A and B are shown apart, each in its own frame.
Chain A
Amino acid sequence: MKFGVVVFPGSNCDHDCYDVVADVLKQPVEFIWHKETKLKEFDCIIIPGGFSYGDYLRCGAIARFSPIMEEAIKYANNGGLVIGICNGFQVLLEAGLLPGAMMRNTSLHFICKYVKLKVENTDTPFSSQYKKGQVVRIPIAHNEGNYYIDEKGLAQLKKNNQIIFRYVTNPNGAVDDIAGIVNTNRNVLGMMPHPERSSELILGSQDGVGIFKSVLDWLATR
């Protein structure tokens, strides 16, 4: 199972994602430089957290036009698995691979802390390792994690069971406590919390590793 981790200038969770795949999952993984125009064979692509292009203009707005994103969009539209974490989620929203937009936290502060998430849908390639309703501890670290979608869009998300994680206590003002969603085809996941930061016992929680392990399971049974 080969993973790719996209690197934009300003990405800063790229190594963390790489390390989880290599050291915890023990799977092959490669960095993908944002200027690349050809995507190699990958089983799953991770768009990591950070401050791509300094988060200037809007988070993810400039990264979305990097050469690699055109390839990533094609890849996703062909059913390839894509995980966007934090800034990666913002990039996926800007690219239109996921619905909605991201706004500043209502506290107007950056927030870094562990939060509790409720798993809402386990029937996706990213969440099969969890139980529906299970509460997991995964940290957040963002300034713009206040997920916005209009009522119509929210109704669609609910109807299609696209909401994967909800905050138990809403830290940022996100609509309907949304922490993570998938697209209608369920091959693209975007989430604000950082599963790569909670995938090893020494770091205080292993609750995040389930996302990566779900991907492995899904790929193996395909």
Chain B
Amino acid sequence: MFTAEVKITLKKTVADPQGLTVQHALESLGFTGLAGVRMGKFIILQLNAEDEVKAKVEAEEMSHKLLANLIIEDFSIEVYPESNRGVKQS
């Protein structure tokens, strides 16, 4: 069992109004020195793959096909051996 963590963010060339709004909110709270804020999605996949390499390949395929929309989004993947970060869904 492997856990793949997929991070999805809007491409740098695409405007991110949500990130901008959060940036403004932080600045109005007195946090200075913010160069930028980007928002994104974080998805945890639990994979029954044979090894880490295969798990990563599978997660990449999933990201390409469904999880990310490559017209506007980029993604990155990190794979760990089975962790306790369980997500039980109904």
Interface residues of A (CB under 8 A from B): 57-58, 61-62, 65, 94, 100-101, 103-108, 148-150, 173
Which listed residue (B10, B17, B71) contacts A108, Cβ 8 A?
A: B17
Determine the distance from Cα of A173 to Cα of B21 in the docked complex, in whole angstroms.
15
User: Which one of A65, A107, A148 has the highest number of Cβ atoms from chain B below 10 Å of its Cβ?
Assistant: A148
Chain B contacts for A149, CB-based, 8 A: 71
Cβ contact of A101, chosen from B13, B67, B69, cutoff 8 A = B69
CB proximity of B42 to chain A, nearest CB, Å: 12
Query: Contact at B71–A100, with CB atoms within 8 Å?
Result: yes
Interface pair A148/B18, CB less than 8 Å apart? no
Give the A-binding residues of B (Cβ under 8 A): 10, 13-15, 17-18, 21, 41, 66-67, 69, 71-72
Q: Check A148 against B17 for contact (C-beta < 8 Å).
A: no
Contact assessment for A61 and B66 in the assembled complex, using a CB-CB cutoff below 8 Å: yes
Closest to A58 in B: B69
How far, in Å, is A100 (CB) from chain B's closest CB?
7
- For A108, list chain B residues within 8 Å (CB): 17-18, 21
Task: Chain B residues near A62: list those with CB within 8 A.
Answer: 66
Q: List 6 A-B contacts (CB under 8 A).
A: A57-B66, A100-B71, A101-B69, A108-B21, A149-B71, A150-B13
- Choose among A57, A94, A173 the residue with the greatest number of B CB atoms under 10 Å from its CB: A57
Interface pair A65/B66, CB less than 8 Å apart: yes
Please tell me if the beta carbons of B17 and A104 are within 8 angstroms of each other in the complex: yes
Which residues on B sit within 8 Å (CB–CB) of A148? 14, 71-72
Complex alpha-carbon distance, A106 and B17, angstroms: 6
Report Cα–Cα, A105/B13, bound state, in Å. 17
Which residue from chain A places its CB closest to the CB of B41 in the assembled complex?
Answer: A57
B69 contacts across to A, CB distance below 8 A: 58, 61, 94, 101
Q: What distance in Å separates the Cβ of A170 from its nearest Cβ neighbour in chain B?
A: 13
A65 to B14, CA, bound (A): 25
User: Which residue of A has the minimal Cβ distance to B70?
Assistant: A101
User: How far, in angstroms, from A62 to B62 measured CA to CA in the complex?
Assistant: 12
Please indicate the chain B residues that have their CB under 8 angstroms from the CB of A57 in the complex: 41, 66-67
CB pair A103–B72 under 8 Å, yes or no, is yes
Q: Which of A58, A149, A150 neighbours the largest number of chain B CB atoms within 10 Å of its CB?
A: A58
* B71/A173 in contact, CB under 8 A: no
